[in-house]
């Protein structure tokens, strides 16, 4: 995909054809107080670029391609792998208190919980920990598997999933972090994590001008 | 800004000019085993679209405009106002416990703290609350102003700031939420909030195909 910048006149032509198409080249020229000959290069580029289509004896009509539609094509090819982070995991038997300490030490808002075979069994968020800490849970003795969200209620993704699809899952499920997993014979191994921070970073990296 | 899709042949021409430019139309035609006449419409559209430039007696050269550069122009015009959320505020004298309850009731990860005149004095994150709740703070009696991040150490933005700039601030400052403020005579009034969720939603809304 490539992008071009249209001239003001070309933008005006698109507007006219959007409103009044199908419309002949002559009528477009009339509306702009120009000759048909003057407009010829503009109409040629708009047709070749795919904004307009022309039918003999009918005139020009608008194809409906918007820049946002076409622009999304390139963003829709980015894999989650390009913007992932390292996952932070804890064993299901560690105490809530130790898990909270791990969150602070590693500076993450979500921990992935694994069993003794290092397979994913749950997800623990800062919100889960805060709820437990203002409740009546004994933080030092209760293991994380009591308060975590557990399989199969966990949203996961694979490293070749599209970034845009994972971003949509984060929004739909109202979660902060999704583990990137690899299927093993006995379950899922956690190999990465994608958070709203990763999506925000991708947004800045892709679009921020220097 | 508008986008177009170039044909394979047009992409090839760009590659040749990138590598070997400045190069005459005839030489490009030679490289593609085509006649100059066949190439004329392609060279015309590439020049009009701004990918190539032509100088008499010199030939065609590549202008260096990439699709990503041009693409970022439209994203760089979006204001933060288009993707903001409603702010949730608490008075600086409420207890940490009550603030945590507000976080759960309103389902937000960050509260903005205001004084009796409703002016911004601090920010309270889920992380601040979690730290306090595993520490020795008496959650029911300690007011939030003791543990909040306070002015002037707060990152704020205005409603006509660019979304991309606010996204960059979220990443740079490693924070989850930024208040949108309005300047008053005596201080700042909070009129909105922007979080990594808002940026993720913007990313999905802008680029997700149906």
Residue A191 has pLDDT above 80, yes or no: yes
Neighbours of A210 (CB within 10 A): 2
Query: Would an 8 Å CB–CB cutoff place A207 in contact with chain B?
Result: yes
- Give the pLDDT of residue B1: 38
pLDDT band at A210 (very low <50, low <70, confident <90, very high): low
Per-residue pLDDT tens digits for A167-176: 999 999 999 9
How does pLDDT run across A152-185, given as a tens digit for each residue?
A: 899 999 999 999 999 999 999 999 999 999 999 9
**A contact residues 95-114, partner B, Cβ 8 Å cutoff:** 97, 100, 103-104, 109
Whether the Cβ atoms of residue A133 and residue A100 lie closer than 8 Å to each other: yes
- Taking one residue from A and the other from B, the number of pairs with CB-CB distance under 8 angstroms is 161
Q: Does B196 touch chain A (CB under 8 A)?
A: yes
CA B16 to chain centre: 35
Q: Which residue has the higher pLDDT, A177 or A41?
A: A177
Nearest residue of chain B to residue A162 (CA atoms): B208
CA-nearest residue to A134 within chain B is: B133
Nearest Cβ partner for B3 among A70, A76, A204: A70
Q: Which residues of B touch A45 (CB under 8 A)?
A: 45, 48-49
Q: B6 pLDDT exceeds 80?
A: no
User: Where do the domains of chain B lie, and which CATH numbers do they carry?
Assistant: 8-67 (1.10.10.10), 80-207 (3.10.580.10)
Phi, psi of A45 (to 5 degrees): -70, -40
- Inspect the interface and report whether the beta carbons of A202 and B203 lie closer than 8 Å: yes
Residue A50 contacts B where some CB pair is shorter than 8 Å = yes
* DSSP per-residue string spanning chain B: -EEE---HHHHHHHHHHHHH-SB-HHHHHHHTT--HHHHHHHHHHHHHTTSEEEETTTEEEE----HHHHHHHHHTT-BGGGG-B---EEETTSBHHHHHHHHHHHT-SEEEEE-TTS-EEEEEEHHHHHHHHHTT--TTTSBGGGTSEETTS---B-TTSBHHHHHHHHHHTT-SEEEEEEE-SSSEEEEEEEEHHHHHHHHHHHH---
Angle at B141 between CA B140 and CA B144, to 5 degrees: 90
The mean pLDDT of A79-103, rounded to a whole number, is 96
Q: What is the mean pLDDT of residues A97-108?
A: 96
Scan residues 122-161 of A and list those with Cβ closer than 8 Å to B. 126-127, 129-131, 133-134, 139
Which residues sit opposite A194 in a β-bridge? A178
- Partners of B6 on chain A (C-beta within 8 Å) are 2
Structure-block tokens of residue B110: 């960050």
Of the candidate ranges A55-69, A82-96, B44-58, the one whose mean pLDDT is the lowest: A55-69
Residues of chain B positioned with their CB less than 8 A from the CB of A195? 196
The pair of three-digit structure tokens given for residue A167, joined into one six-digit string = 């971003």
ipTM greater than cut 0.85: no
- A109:B97 CB<8 A: no
B38 CB-near residues (< 8 Å, 6+ apart)? B29
Binning pLDDT at 50, 70 and 90, where does residue B210 land? low
Listed in sequence order, the residues at least 6 apart from A168 whose beta carbon sits closer than 8 Å to its beta carbon are B204, B208
């Amino acid at each position: 995909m490539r992008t071009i910048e249209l001239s003001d006149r070309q933008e005006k032509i698109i507007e006219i054809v959007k409103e009044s198409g199908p419309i002949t080249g002559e009528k477009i020229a009339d509306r702009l107080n120009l000759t048909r000959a003057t407009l010829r290069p503009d109409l040629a580029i708009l047709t070749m670029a795919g904004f307009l289509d022309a039918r003999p004896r009918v005139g020009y009509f608008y194809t409906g391609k918007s820049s946002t539609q076409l622009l999304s094509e390139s963003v829709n090819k980015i894999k989650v792998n390009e913007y992932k982070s390292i996952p932070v995991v804890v064993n299901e038997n560690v105490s809530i208190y130790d898990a909270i300490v791990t969150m602070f030490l590693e500076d993450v808002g979500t921990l992935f919980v694994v069993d003794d075979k290092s397979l994913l069994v749950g997800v623990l968020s800062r919100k889960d920990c805060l709820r437990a800490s203002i409740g009546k849970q004994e933080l030092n003795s209760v293991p994380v598997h009591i308060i975590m969200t557990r399989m199969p209620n966990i949203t996961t993704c694979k490293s070749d999933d599209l970034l845009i699809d994972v971003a949509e899952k984060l929004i739909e499920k109202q979660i902060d972090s999704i583990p990137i997993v690899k299927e093993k014979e006995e379950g899922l191994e956690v190999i990465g994590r994608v958070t709203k921070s990763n999506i925000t970073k991708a947004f800045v990296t892709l679009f921020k001008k220097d």
